[in-house]
Amino acid sequence: MRMRMRFSSSSSSSSPALRRLEEKPYYVTTPIFYVNASPHVGHLYSMLIADVLKRWEVLKGRQAYLSTGTDEHGMKVQRAAELQDVPPKALCDTNAETFKDLARRANISNDHFIRTTDPEHRDAVEYFWARLRDSGYIYETKHEGWYCVSDETFYPESVVEKRVSPLTGKSYVASVETGNAVEWTEEKNYHFRLTAFRDRLLRFYMENPAWVVPESRFVEVIDWVRNNLEDLSISRPVSRLDWGIPVPDDPSQTIYVWVDALVNYLTTAGYPIWPPGSEHDGGWPADVHVVGKDIIRFHCIYWPAFLMALNIELPRQVLSHGHWLMSKQKMSKSKGNVVNPFFALDRWGVDTMRYFLIHGGQVANDSDYDNSSIVDKYKKGLQGGLGNLLNRITRPTAWSVREAVQAKAANKSSVSLLAVLVQTHRDQVDQQVQKADAHMKALNPGGALKEIMELVYATNRFLHNTAPWDKRKEGDTEAVNQIIYHAADSLRVVGILLQPFMPEKAALLLDRLGVGEDRRGFGDAKLDVDEDYGTPVVPVGAGAQSSLFPPLPVED
């Protein structure tokens, strides 16, 4: 068994341990995804949120890690393998590669792709279990209750109800929360004394009011702890579930899949090998766990209680996002309304899908996936907004971005007649950058993207109101240079800020503006800080098809 080196969490503010914690790498995680079925657009959305959060921190000059992966043990995977008549590991190997492909295809900048079948993860889980057992919070007893295979959890009597299937007319018992069928199960297994942490959890929630985003979901978590908390069954008889990690010293039991799965966040941070002085090198505690709203109880109740039991620092925040629906209905294979993310990426393009999902996705509520909405956002925001602005600034032969930048650097461009319009626009640039950063700090990438796009629309309005083409006809070169400079500099700021959201298109935009590779950090996302750009390093193109966002070939 590996040994974990512990450190004190009660260090003074001037201690080296606390300084290392404050300077540690940023660490963001996605949920690890079940491999019993193929990826859907909801998986892609979780990946994208985490990716944008990580890339934003990198943009600001911070070292950052992103972990994603696959959850490969448990009853659902075991049954899926049985139905396909394949060994569970073979099913896992195939489907894990599909999730890896999705991350690559969507340009996710993950540093880790963890599989719960990885040997180092098994070591971490075994060590984690042994420490839980040694802590005195595990006991063995007979368990009776309503178990849901789909949700991989037991439910209290208070949150299940009888329902009638509209297809068969037969009655069944289901979870009120998820609607999935439950079955009465009686078995002997190990339990975790979750109820012993009720007061400690509630105190932690009170002291950390922004720990779960959004607030409405945090209210649900607190209500559950106050009214539905029960000791947690954390193993299953091997006679019922043999696809998983055996309980150390008791091969008759298999470790509960959610104990196994949650430990993945520690595994990728180097647990349990944390020598003194390097406890935070892998990023722990996680800065953000990105999860769907359906698994919030596991991450915001069970997980912090496990960590409290072992005196391990808790993650700093949990971001629980809404689901993607189609025609206002939850996506499901039986309804035939599941969006294949690979097909969507191929059809619309990687950065278009990244833009659509982040711009249209919601944290507090569900979002509706619609191809016509993708077309609308593409035409308005990307083609007519961002792409058109780049073309208007860089393509005309009537002016030169480089000459405008040089004129500004030489203080030759100061037309008093434009002073009010210029200053108003300059103020808005500063405001939009601050607003975008505030949204990112609040774990709202969609809000940040909307602020950045508002700057795109504002810059297009600035061009319209100042009309450099008219000034050119009048021979007012000084006014033209001033207008083009401020429009181009605003677009330069936009391109820098868009890098976490649309990495490839933002890079091409900055290339067309001639912005140096070393001048694309967050500190450069302000006006008047770069005097060297303006000469394109790639062709600016001609015609609609060579635009940053060309016309869509198919619109339906």
> pLDDT 10s digit of each residue in the chain, 556 long?
333 333 333 333 445 555 556 689 999 999 999 999 899 999 999 999 999 999 999 999 999 999 999 999 998 999 999 999 999 999 999 999 999 999 999 999 999 999 999 999 999 999 999 999 999 999 999 877 788 877 777 778 888 788 888 777 778 888 887 788 888 877 889 999 999 999 999 999 999 999 999 999 999 999 999 999 999 999 999 998 999 999 999 999 999 999 999 999 999 999 999 988 888 999 999 999 999 999 999 999 999 999 999 999 999 999 999 999 987 787 766 567 789 999 999 999 999 999 999 999 999 999 999 999 999 999 999 999 999 999 999 999 999 999 999 999 887 555 566 788 999 999 999 999 999 999 999 999 999 999 999 999 999 999 999 999 999 999 999 999 999 999 999 999 999 999 999 999 999 999 999 999 999 999 999 999 999 999 999 999 888 899 999 998 755 4
Cβ count near 320 (within 10 Å): 25
The answer to the question of residue 192 being in a domain is no
Judge residue 390's burial from the number of C-beta atoms within 10 Å of its C-beta, 0-12 exposed, 13-18 middle, 19 or more buried: buried
The answer to the question of residue 44 being in a domain is no
The answer to the question of residue 300 being in a domain is no
User: Rounded CA gap, 143 and 74, in Å?
Assistant: 18
- Number of structural domains in the chain: 1
The answer to the question of residue 476 being in a domain is yes
Cis ω for the linkage preceding 445 (within 30 of 0): no
The answer to the question of residue 492 being in a domain is yes
User: Rounded CA gap, 514 and 537, in Å?
Assistant: 5
- Asked whether 152 and 76 are in contact (CB, 8 A), the reply is yes
Residue 175 backbone zone (phi > 0: left; psi -120 to 50: alpha; other: beta): beta
The answer to the question of residue 1 being in a domain is no
Cβ count near 184 (within 10 Å): 10
The domain that holds 531 is classified in CATH as 1.10.730.10
The answer to the question of residue 483 being in a domain is yes
pTM of the model: 0.90
The answer to the question of residue 235 being in a domain is no
The residue range of the domain holding 429 is 371-546
**pLDDT the model gives residue 554:** 58
**pLDDT the model gives residue 21:** 62
**pLDDT the model gives residue 12:** 38
**pLDDT the model gives residue 518:** 97
